Amino acid sequence: MGSDTRTAAWLLDWLSFLAHWAFFFGIGWEGELDQYSSASLRKSSEKQLKQTRTHYYKLIGAMKKAESKIDPVLNPLRDQVLFLKHNLNARAVASLQTELTRIETDVSRLIRDMEIAMNEADSFIQTLKAE
């Protein structure tokens, strides 16, 4: 696992931990629901909390999916860079064209998956702004 991947994994784990702590141990929003005197406002806030949890778990799922694809895409690229570093010559460069095409395809897929995760994050943020 590369250092970029370890950093992404650590940040994702930390975000998951903080949200889990807040959602399930009554810190913040859920812990304050009992402070409502209005049953309708409490119910509305509870509904928004459930929706936020649902959006959050979709967001984390999309982020974990994108994270799991980082190393499989970057490892062959790292291998190719190392190979070129040690064996840079015209024949070696020509032989890498097929591999380059495969890596470009993998990177395109990774970018698409990351865009899905970012769109999910944007959607999540928009629901928070709307509330």
The pLDDT tens digits of the residues spanning 9-39 come to 777 777 777 777 766 655 677 778 889 999 9
Are residues 59 and 120 in contact, defined by beta-carbon separation less than 8 angstroms?
yes
Residue numbers of the domain that contains 78: 3-130
DSSP state of 35: G
Is the whole-model pTM more than 0.85? no
Residue 118 binned pLDDT confidence (cut-offs 50, 70, 90): confident
Residue 4 binned pLDDT confidence (cut-offs 50, 70, 90): low
Q: Where are the alpha helices (DSSP H) in 25-96?
A: 29-32, 39-68, 70-87, 90-95
Residue 43 binned pLDDT confidence (cut-offs 50, 70, 90): very high
Residue 91: predicted pLDDT: 66
Q: What is the mean pLDDT of residues 38-62?
A: 87
As for how many domains the chain has, the answer is: 1
Give helix 3-24 / helix 70-87 axis angle, nearest 10°: 160
Residue 1: predicted pLDDT: 53
Residue 115 binned pLDDT confidence (cut-offs 50, 70, 90): confident
Please give the Cα distance from 46 to 52 (Å, whole number): 10
| Identity at 17, one-letter amino acid code | F
Residue 88: predicted pLDDT: 67
pLDDT score of 89 more than 70: no
Which is more confident, 131 or 125? 125
Provide the mean pLDDT of the chain: 79
